[in-house]
Amino acid sequence: MLITSIIFSKDRPLQLDLTLKSVYKNFSQSTSNIVIYDCSPEFDASYVKLKEEHPHVQWWKQGWSLFKDVWVAIGSSDDDLVCFFTDDGIMFSESPEIHPDIFNNGPHVACFSLRMGINIDSRSHKGELFPDLPQKDLEILQDKWLIWRRSLPSYGSYWSYSLSLDGHIFRKEEMFDMVGELVYLQGYKEFKQNPNKLEEALQRFWTSRQQCMVSHKNSVYVNSPNNRVSDSCLDNMSGEKHSYSSEKLLQFFTEGKRINLDLLDSAALSQIRCPHTEIDILKGLQ
């Protein structure tokens, strides 16, 4: 089963390059990759360079409505599934094949999460980690995947957060309909046009979605929040352990340096306990 990946980016060329290369290496089912990006004037040249270095990626400059851009991008896909990533995410481990039966024969499945697994037992909030243990109703499918009911965990748990736009896979038609409804609502409600606000707006559909989430046994994707490029979600902490300004990372990118996935701290990546975990990404700079 082939998957279209939609990756959000703003002012993070060096990190986006790492995200793309990690997807190429560890997510072979993602054969169609679309980057929807916005950038400040000083980052224009770096995105032009990225387009040259990643010619097989579809590059979409964000228009006046990100919601509509995403809706059109979903509709343009020839695949049955769509996956979402952000430009500070890393596919740090190979994703085993996701069989179509998970969605085709699993009407109760809301999404497949690349960021969840039995290794996830903590939740980050305002710079602190809190217990977020795997659910007691976890079941194993074909000795490959985990499945659980998302309505059992407490509010705020990663185990219940099915409508994330950061490492989750959805049926194309279902996501197309949800985003399309938000595009329609823009005529009556003003939404800020960034990925955080799109994800926030999608939560209105949480109660109507299927009951179950599925993942690999262990997570294969992590978000490394080393810097902030938006002021829309100030509760989301960034740069608490390994802080790198977007300007400094742009300087490295302009100098021709890139982050090598294979040089990142393998020990840290093997001990991921939270979907949002800062990685010292500059350990891979070369």
Which tokens belong to 57?
A: 């990626």
Q: Is the pLDDT of residue 139 over 70?
A: yes
- The pLDDT assigned to 234 comes to 46
Tell me the whole-structure pTM to 2 decimals. Answer: 0.94
Q: Is the pLDDT of residue 252 over 90?
A: yes
Mean pLDDT of the chain: 93
pLDDT tens-place string over residues 23-60: 999 999 999 999 999 999 999 999 999 999 999 999 99
% of the chain with per-residue pLDDT over 90: 82
pLDDT tens-place string over residues 106-115: 779 999 999 9
Which tokens belong to 78?
A: 């020839």
The sheet carrying 168-171 orders its strands as 58-61, 30-38, 3-10, 81-86, 168-171, 109-113, 212-216, 145-149, 139-141
Q: Are 12 and 87 in contact (CB under 8 A)?
A: yes
pLDDT band at 230 (very low <50, low <70, confident <90, very high): low
% of the chain with per-residue pLDDT over 70: 95
- The pLDDT assigned to 231 comes to 56
Neighbours of 104 (CB within 10 A): 12
104 vs 161: which has the higher pLDDT = 161
- The pLDDT assigned to 243 comes to 85
- The pLDDT assigned to 156 comes to 87
Q: Are 64 and 176 in contact (CB under 8 A)?
A: no
pLDDT band at 238 (very low <50, low <70, confident <90, very high): low
Q: Is the pLDDT of residue 214 over 80?
A: yes
Q: Crossing angle of helices 246-254/44-53, nearest 10°?
A: 50
Q: How far is Cα 171 from Cα 103, in angstroms, rounded to an integer? A: 8
Q: Is the pLDDT of residue 236 over 70?
A: no
pLDDT tens-place string over residues 141-198: 888 899 999 999 888 899 999 999 999 999 999 999 999 999 999 989 889 999 999 9
- The pLDDT assigned to 235 comes to 54
- The pLDDT assigned to 126 comes to 72
- The pLDDT assigned to 114 comes to 98
